[in-house]
Structure 1
Amino acid sequence: MPGWLGGGNTRTRGSAAEQAALAHLRAQGLRLVERNYRTPGRGGGEIDLILREPDGTLVFVEVRARIDASRGGAAASIGAIKQGRIVLAARHYLLRHRSPPPCRFDVVAIDGERIEWLKAAFDAG
């Protein structure tokens, strides 16, 4: 079990997981655009990482980490309500673009020391 998942409070562990995910995605050629984008007001959404692929695709990334893969693992913890909030936040974010680029929703699931990048994990529908 990696130390960053086992110690500290939830915010500290979440930040460490996002940093590990970001390092993994940067190593794959993606470039960070924004981190922890939140919509204004209560009940809105949040996007952990917004990155850009070399081809220009904007990638909205949800990062989930669990100590191990029991109970379905990290990826299984992203339900329909959470997906809806991420889509809401992405739509809000895209309002700043006159002509929105191609986009997709990815998940970086971290189970123990295993990092899995799930491209196009869900869609806006």
Structure 2
Amino acid sequence: MQFTFDHNNINVLDLEKSLAFYKEALGFEEVRRKEAEDGSFILVYLGDGVTSHTLELTWLRDWKEPYNLGDNEFHLAIRVDDFDGAYEHHKKMDCICFENKKMGIYFINDPDGYWVEILPPKK
């Protein structure tokens, strides 16, 4: 028996704002979309253009309050080939929320408060 990663899901309040953020910040593109017939939800799957793993953004029509992220200890981790370039890009976007220079990583904050860890290339 073999288990493989397929996707991760996060819920978002403003789908268009989140789509724009993930495209600008990480270059993720929409690869698939499912809309409920009654309009109650939209699922949008974003891909990195390299792997088959996707990020599923779930928008719920009737949800109006910010999501409770608890202590926000969970996060996505994204590796980038140009760490310094990515850092400057995210700095200009003003979305860096935490840096750990000792570990050589930093985190960006998406529109709903989810953290995304940015990792340098593997050595």
TM-score category of the 2 structures, normalised to the smaller one: 0.3 to 0.5
Structure showing greater Rg: 2
Which structure carries more helix by proportion?
1
